Chain A
Amino acid sequence: MIEVKVRAKGRVIKRVMLFKERIRVIDVLRYLGLNEEEVIVIDVKKGKMLTHDVVLEGDSEIIVYMVYPREV
């Protein structure tokens, strides 16, 4: 399971659980209707910034920081 939190203006505005074993960051963003230029993606467990092509596996947790807050 992959947990995705979308943060904007200091709070989590959306929380999504993806029941997948493997998924690319870009596919998560597409699912949320976001593009790479408007977000920064952080892997919570590794404390690292992720690019669009990284494949998330197993029990991952990511935070998607939106540069310009809008509804997702």
Chain B
Amino acid sequence: MIRLRYAKLALCEEHFVEYIHKRVRIIIEKALRHGMPKRIVAAVSGGKDSMVLLHILVKLSKTLPLKVYAAFIDLGIGDYSDRTRKVVEDYCNDLGVELIILEVRKVLGISVNELSRTVKKPVCSICGLVKRYFLNALGVEMGATIATGHHLDDIVSYVVKNVLTHLGEEHLKVSYLLPQAKGASAKVRPLIRISEREVLAYALLNNIKYFEGACPFAPRKSIDGLIKRVLTEIESEYPGTKLAILSKYEVPPEEISKALESSITCSSCGLISLSNVCAFCRYTQMVFDKAMGLEVRKYIKELVPKD
């Protein structure tokens, strides 16, 4: 049995799994109605969130018009990347899902930590940039939707962090779907209404083998972790707080589309950018004396499944 206090429910194992499927299905059906491409690529890292996402998508694809793929980015972080890759490969084999492996070292010749050292930026910010770039490029080349394992706790902690720090409330918009735009693939967050506790329970109940370790570069202390813990404490006293915060900042995908209408594309690689040249092309230009965006797109094009 699991007790979900925000919903005033206590569910047995079987009905809990059914309940999670139902809630993710609602998000996917809404996204499909908004024109989300039916080819869907689950971005998997080997951690529990993305593995649970992949498991649910595969289950739902039996009754929904979805063609599910998985994509793993090999960041070249030694033993950590090897171990997470093995976990993902084994799990995709078990599920019978086509896995696309994008190797950063193969196209850039260096790993993300080496890249971050060269451009003198924190490794986590360069890693995030590279992952976002590779996944967006894959989505664009495939004409597919990229599904990520961001769950309720991730989104709510992002919102709270931005309210507390710099961005301010007026710019904060979150949605389960970021529609396609010039140089940007559609992105969906099917777990947006599922808490991390539910994700963990789902993983344990379905015997999902995920990588439990942490990235060697993950900071010991982070404001995100602290916010998540504080929010969980508030949630235990006032169930439903996380969902209430989400609903305050959640906007329909149309509003995101409108904001994306004025977006521009990188003059070098043609993918979505905030300025004339995107951050990825800018940083790679600094390191290789050549913007690598187009090289990455060419590399990814060769990996795109043909069907």
CA distance A42 to B228 in the complex (A): 23
Task: Mark B residues whose CB is within 8 Å of A.
Answer: 1-3, 5, 10, 13, 16, 196-197, 200-201, 204-205, 212-214, 225, 228-229, 232-233, 235-236, 239
* 8 A Cβ contacts from A22-65 to B: 35-40, 42, 48-52, 54, 65
- In the complex, A15 has a CB within 8 A of chain B: no
With contact pairs A37-B197, A68-B229 given, residues A51 and B205 touching in the complex (Cβ less than 8 Å) = no
Question: A59 to nearest B CB, angstroms?
Answer: 21
Find out whether the CB atom of A35 lies under 8 angstroms from the CB atom of B236: yes
User: Which residues of A sit under 8 angstroms from B16, Cβ to Cβ?
Assistant: 49
Interface of B is mostly: helix
Q: Which of B1, B200, B212, B213 contacts A48 (CB 8 A)?
A: B1
Of the A-B pairs whose beta carbons lie under 8 Å apart in the complex, a sample of 5, sorted by A's number, is: A10-B213, A37-B232, A37-B239, A67-B200, A68-B196
With contact pairs A9-B214, A10-B213, A40-B201 given, residues A67 and B2 touching in the complex (Cβ less than 8 Å) = no
Q: A11-B212, A36-B5, A70-B229 are in contact. List 11 more A-B contacts (CB 8 A).
A: A10-B213, A35-B233, A37-B5, A39-B197, A40-B2, A40-B197, A40-B204, A49-B1, A54-B1, A68-B228, A68-B229
- Please give me the residue from chain A that is nearest to B210 by CB atom: A10
- Please give me the residue from chain A that is nearest to B16 by CB atom: A49
User: Which residues of B sit under 8 angstroms from A67, Cβ to Cβ?
Assistant: 196-197, 200, 232
Find out whether the CB atom of B201 lies under 8 angstroms from the CB atom of A49: yes
Find out whether the CB atom of A36 lies under 8 angstroms from the CB atom of B236: yes
CA distance A67 to B232 in the complex (A): 10
Question: A51 to nearest B CB, angstroms?
Answer: 5
User: Which residues of B sit under 8 angstroms from A38, Cβ to Cβ?
Assistant: 197, 229, 232-233, 236
- Please give me the residue from chain B that is nearest to A66 by CB atom: B200
Find out whether the CB atom of B236 lies under 8 angstroms from the CB atom of A51: no
Find out whether the CB atom of B232 lies under 8 angstroms from the CB atom of A68: yes
- Please give me the residue from chain A that is nearest to B1 by CB atom: A51
User: Which residues of B sit under 8 angstroms from A42, Cβ to Cβ?
Assistant: 204
Find out whether the CB atom of B2 lies under 8 angstroms from the CB atom of A37: no
Find out whether the CB atom of A9 lies under 8 angstroms from the CB atom of B233: no
User: Which residues of A sit under 8 angstroms from B205, Cβ to Cβ?
Assistant: 49
Find out whether the CB atom of B228 lies under 8 angstroms from the CB atom of A51: no
User: Which residues of B sit under 8 angstroms from A52, Cβ to Cβ?
Assistant: 3
Question: B186 to nearest A CB, angstroms?
Answer: 30
Find out whether the CB atom of B232 lies under 8 angstroms from the CB atom of A48: no
Find out whether the CB atom of A51 lies under 8 angstroms from the CB atom of B13: no
User: Which residues of B sit under 8 angstroms from A70, Cβ to Cβ?
Assistant: 229
With contact pairs A38-B236, A49-B13, A49-B201 given, residues A68 and B3 touching in the complex (Cβ less than 8 Å) = no
Question: A68 to nearest B CB, angstroms?
Answer: 5
- Please give me the residue from chain B that is nearest to A63 by CB atom: B204
Residue picked from A36, A54, A65, A67, most chain B C-beta under 10 Å? A67
User: Which residues of A sit under 8 angstroms from B239, Cβ to Cβ?
Assistant: 37
CA distance A54 to B228 in the complex (A): 27
Interface string of A1-24 (1 = CB under 8 A from B): 000000001110000000000000
User: Which residues of A sit under 8 angstroms from B10, Cβ to Cβ?
Assistant: 51
User: Which residues of B sit under 8 angstroms from A39, Cβ to Cβ?
Assistant: 197
User: Which residues of A sit under 8 angstroms from B212, Cβ to Cβ?
Assistant: 9-11
- Please give me the residue from chain A that is nearest to B3 by CB atom: A51
Find out whether the CB atom of A36 lies under 8 angstroms from the CB atom of B3: yes
Find out whether the CB atom of B204 lies under 8 angstroms from the CB atom of A49: yes
